Amino acid sequence: MNIKQVRAFLAVSQTMSFASAATQLHLSQPALSLSIKSLEENLGGKLLTRTTRHIALTPEGEALMPIARRLLAQWENAEDEMKQRFALQLGKITIASMPSFAASLLPKAIRNYHASYPNIQVAIDDVLSDVVVEMVRNNQVELGISFEPSNLVDLSFHPLYEDRFIAILPKNHPLEAQETISWSALLEYDFITLQRPSSVRTMIESALNKTGIELNVAFDAHQLVTVGRMVSEGMGVAVVPALCRQQSIEQGAICRPVIEPEIRRRVGVICQPRSNLSIAAAAMLDVLIETYA
C-alpha cells in the first residue's frame, strides 16, 4: 500500500464517484481504477462494490476509511514538517561550548542566528572544552566550540580566532603596575588554575615545560569562573584564556598580558563534516564563521 493508493481510495470513498475522484486527483478514470485494483490486491480483498449505477464500501472498506484518513494526515504532516525544516522554518540545534565562550561571545552569534531563523530553537550545553569534543564525536550535539583539539581524527575544525592567555590579579597586587607580566614574576605568588584533566591546564603546563619553568599550584578548581572568584578574593593569581577577560573584570580582578612564554591557541567550531550536518546546524556554522572569523 502506498500513499497514492490511499489518496485514490479516500477520494472514491468520499465522492462515491470514480469520475469525480479522478477529476479531484487529476487522473484518468482507468488510472484511478488501476490504483484501486492494486490496493485491493495488495490488501487481499475488495474494498468497494461497483455497479454501473452505484458504488459502496465493503465492510473492509469501511474499516479502512479511518485508518486511511490518519495515514494521509500523518503523511501530509510529515511532508510539511520536512519542508519547513529544509526551509529553516522549523527545527532545533544544540551547541556544546566551553563556558568561557558561552558566557562571553556566543550570545552575539545566537542573536544573529535568531534574527535570520526565528523558528529554529537553539540550546546551549556549557561544558569543559574536553567534553565538547567528545559530545560532538558521540553525536550528542552537532556543533561544539572549543580550543583546537590536538587530535581531530574524523572531525572538522573551523577556526574563529586566536585566543591569547592573560594573567589575572587581585586588586592592589604588587604586579598591578606592570603592563605585561612574565611567568617567572607571576609564579612568585600563589597560583590558582583548573583541575586535571583540563585543556587549559594542559596548555599551561606544556608551555611552561618547554621553557623549563616549574608550575607549583596552590589551589585548583573545576570551573574558570571559580578560579576568577578566588583571585578576586585575594587568594592568589591565575592565567586564563582572554575569553575570560570581561568576566574577570566584573569579578573585580585585574587583567594583564602574560609573557615569557605567551600562550596562544585557536578557538573554533568542531563538527562532523559539513555534508553530515542538518540544514539548521550548517546555517549556524555559517553564522558563527561570519560573526567571529
Q: How far apart are CA 55 and CA 21, in angstroms?
A: 12
Average pLDDT for the chain: 90
Reply yes or no on whether the pLDDT at 88 is more than 80. no
Q: What residues pair up with 193 in beta bridges, in sequence order?
A: 220
Distances (CA, A) of 103 to 107, 108, 205: 7, 10, 25
CB 227 within 8 A of CB 238: yes
Average pLDDT over residues 235-257: 91
Considering the domain architecture, whether residues 63 and 29 belong to the same structural domain is answered as yes
pLDDT (tens digit, 9 = 90+) per residue, 37-53? Answer: 999 999 999 999 987 77
Considering the domain architecture, whether residues 185 and 238 belong to the same structural domain is answered as yes
Is the overall model pTM greater than 0.75, yes or no?
Answer: no
Considering the domain architecture, whether residues 155 and 274 belong to the same structural domain is answered as yes
Note the pLDDT of residue 51: 78
Average pLDDT over residues 240-247: 89
Note the pLDDT of residue 44: 92
Note the pLDDT of residue 150: 80
Considering the domain architecture, whether residues 118 and 248 belong to the same structural domain is answered as no
Note the pLDDT of residue 53: 77
CB 91 within 8 A of CB 278: yes
What is the band of 166 on the pLDDT scale with cuts at 50, 70, 90? very high
Range of the domain at 25: 3-87
Considering the domain architecture, whether residues 81 and 98 belong to the same structural domain is answered as no
Considering the domain architecture, whether residues 103 and 230 belong to the same structural domain is answered as no
Q: What residues pair up with 91 in beta bridges, in sequence order?
A: 120
Q: At what angle do helices 18-25 and 3-15 cross, to 10 degrees?
A: 130
Of the three residues 87, 115, 146, the one that is the final residue of a domain is: 87
Q: Which residues contact 35 (CB under 8 A, 6 or more apart)?
A: 4, 5, 8, 27
Considering the domain architecture, whether residues 52 and 119 belong to the same structural domain is answered as no
Give the closest residue to 225 by CA, choosing from 126, 121, 106, 125. Answer: 126
Note the pLDDT of residue 32: 92
Note the pLDDT of residue 144: 95
Note the pLDDT of residue 141: 92
Q: How far apart are CA 293 and CA 291, in angstroms?
A: 6
Considering the domain architecture, whether residues 79 and 102 belong to the same structural domain is answered as no
CB 145 within 8 A of CB 106: yes
pLDDT (tens digit, 9 = 90+) per residue, 254-275? Answer: 999 999 999 999 999 999 998 8
Of the three residues 87, 121, 149, the one that is the final residue of a domain is: 87
CATH number of the domain bearing residue 43 = 1.10.10.10
Distances (CA, A) of 38 to 1, 8, 12, 104: 8, 11, 14, 62
Considering the domain architecture, whether residues 154 and 281 belong to the same structural domain is answered as yes
Considering the domain architecture, whether residues 205 and 225 belong to the same structural domain is answered as yes
Considering the domain architecture, whether residues 149 and 275 belong to the same structural domain is answered as yes
Considering the domain architecture, whether residues 285 and 151 belong to the same structural domain is answered as yes
Note the pLDDT of residue 255: 94
Note the pLDDT of residue 1: 85
Structural domains of the chain, count: 3
